Amino acid sequence: MHIASSSSGRFPSASSVSRIRNALLRHYDRHRRDLPWRGESDPYRIWISEIMLQQTRVVTVVDRYHDFIRSFPDVHALARAPVARVYEAWAGLGYYGRARNLHAAARAIVRAHRGWLPTTYAELTTLPGIGPYTAGAVASIAFGEAVPALDGNAIRVLSRLVASADASGSAAAVRQLSASAIALVRGTRPGDLNQSLMDLGASICTPRQPKCGVCPVRRWCAGFASGQPTRFPAACPSRRTKPILAVVFAWLEDSHGVWLERRPSEGLWAGQWQLPGAEGPRARARLAERLDVSLEARRLARIEHELTHRQVRATVFEATSPWRVRSRNGFRRFERPLSAPVSALARRTIQTVLAARSDP
């Protein structure tokens, strides 16, 4: 593995590196988070957990990890499954391109690697959906390769250790801190070392109120010595206001349930079930025409929903004319629509409408 480095972002001596490593591992052994995939030896399960953890809160993954493993207990089961079933199992985790890449990677593993997950950082990065962080995490945790795994928590810990002011998560920060990360991970238990940095950043070296008094590496921390550890790393430059995406949904309900529509396999909410909808200019008129229904003027609900790169404003209208959904591919009626594998936006939307309709 080759990672560029600079003259800054280095620990002062090899002896300091050794002491920091030992302190991190001792703390990890005593205080590591109790997570379902911790202590797991199956590379497949470690890979699944790391893909789930990409841009998703740990508490959300904890709730979903075992269900996904029960549905797809090994890479062969995942590769054999229709991608639509993988999308359904992924419902609520967000960033549905991960589910598509996970399925594609499983098929590549079966096809090109006889069902065995590649064992090195370099090979792992050739699979769909696996970037530098995920490859480092899987290679170090599952296979003991001495490579770093720089997530946001680890970057923050290292930034404070060496008082690096580069913006958190920026390319400059990753380049600057890579030398320190490589120095730390060399030695025994590289996977545990990487996880110790992640845990430290999640529980002690937090963004706004770090608990420096109980930090196991405080004595070597240049950020702590400065008296202002929260200066490191610098905050990312403020982002522009998110663009607004207008979405219109149709509420089609009869005595047997509510009709939902499966989203396309590409794009937002890929492969998930939602209320039939349309996006962008003239969405309401286009939706009424596509469904061959009339949407009454009074709306049932309006939802504000934030995505990573945009702000969604969704409005739900009730269809008042008869419809012929039965003949349309991709539609299905659910007696209990919240039991369907729906996106977070769809769940909020359905909950809001049901609550409004039951309110006397």
Mark 58-67 as b/e (b = at least 16 C-beta within 10 Å). Answer: eeebbebbee
- 7 pLDDT band, cuts 50/70/90, is very low
Given the residues 40, 50, 88, 261, the one annotated as active site: 50
pLDDT per residue as tens digits for the range 49-62: 999 999 889 999 99
Report the distance separating Cα 270 and Cα 100, nearest Å.
8
* Entry pTM: 0.79
**Residue 10 clears pLDDT 60, i.e. is over it:** no
The whole-number pLDDT of residue 209 equals 95
Terminus-to-terminus CA distance in the chain, angstroms? 63
For domain 14-231, give its CATH number from 1.10.8.60, 1.10.340.30, 3.40.50.1110, 1.10.10.10.
Answer: 1.10.340.30
Which of 91-105, 185-199, 315-329 is predicted least confidently?
315-329
The whole-number pLDDT of residue 265 equals 78
Q: Give catalytic status of residue 261 as yes or no.
A: no
Which of 16-20, 106-110, 181-185, 255-259 is predicted least confidently?
255-259
Q: What is the average per-residue pLDDT within 200-228? A: 96
Beta bridge mates, 302: 315
Burial class from Cβ neighbours inside 10 Å (0-12, 13-18, 19+) for residue 246 reads middle
| CATH topology (fold) of 244-358 | Nucleoside Triphosphate Pyrophosphohydrolase (3.90.79)
Higher pLDDT, 92 or 323: 92
Domain boundaries, given as residue ranges, for the chain: 14-231, 244-358
